Amino acid sequence: MGKLALGSAVSWFLGAKFHSGRTAKKLKAKFQKEQKSLYTQYYNDVYKLSEQNTELQYMVQQLQEALKDTESKHELEAIQRDYDEFKMPDIDGDDRISRAEFNMYVKNYLASYPGLAEKDYPKFEDFDHDGDGFVSFQEYAQQMALQAQQAELEQLYGSKDSGKASGSKKAQSLQDLYGETKKAGNFNDMYAQYK
């Protein structure tokens, strides 16, 4: 009876060890399969995210380039608009405005402009910065920029000019405040800056 009990205990122990070994192998194989599946999914997700990141970077770059192009076109259009306005009083087409052309323009065009008083008419001296008797496109563009800045300051501070300072003094003080504006020899030089 002792041998029988001992034999069945040994067989039970060996059977349990055999079955637990098989179960452990099955669980290990299942774990490795799941681990492999998780790693594969992880690497696939990382790859997809890196692709999406690359696509987003490309889209951002395209949008930045489109913005730069739009800004350049806008600046070119503004320069062209200013140049077209500059050419209106330039009767002889020499890309500069003489005092006579300036006065004729003021008389014919600005005098008929509603709401503009004679005291508000621009003065030739305000535009002729170098005093050579002609207004170049560069001088015209600088003066228009200074007038725009002055209007912005007047709107900001809500004060009108008292009339004591002349236009050139106002222009000089604004130039000192804002710094020197961009210089170019003529329209072609300014146009070349934006090509």
pLDDT tens per residue, range 4-36: 777 777 777 777 777 777 888 888 889 999 999
Amino acid identity, position 145:
A
Average pLDDT rounded to a whole number, residues 70-94: 88
For the chain, what is the domain count? 2
User: 139 and 129 in contact (C-beta within 8 Å)?
Assistant: yes
Q: What is the mean pLDDT of the chain?
A: 78
Confidence of residue 182 (pLDDT cuts 50, 70, 90): very low
Q: Is residue 48 scored above 80 in pLDDT? A: yes
40, 69, 98: which is the final residue of a domain? 69
82 domain-assigned? no
Q: Are residues 92 and 166 in the same domain?
A: yes
**What predicted TM-score, i.e. pTM, was given to this entire model?**
0.47
76 domain-assigned? no
| pLDDT (0 to 100) of residue 34 | 92
96 domain-assigned? yes
Alpha-carbon torsion (160, 162, 163, 164), positive or negative: negative
83 domain-assigned? no
141: buried, middle or exposed (CB in 10 Å: 19+, 13-18, 0-12)?
Answer: buried
| pLDDT (0 to 100) of residue 159 | 53
| pLDDT (0 to 100) of residue 192 | 52
The 3-state secondary structure of 90-153, one letter per residue: CCCCCCEEEHHHHHHHHHHCHHHCCCCCHHHCCCHHHHCCCCCCEEEHHHHHHHHHHHHHHHHH
| pLDDT (0 to 100) of residue 19 | 79
Q: Is residue 189 scored above 70 in pLDDT? A: no
User: 183 and 138 in contact (C-beta within 8 Å)?
Assistant: yes
Q: Are residues 61 and 100 in the same domain?
A: no
Q: Which domain holds residue 99?
A: 88-193
Closest alpha carbon to 195 in 44, 69, 60: 69
CATH number for 177: 1.10.238
* 5 Cβ contact partners less than 8 Å away, ≥ 6 residues apart: none
d(CA 94, CA 29): 90
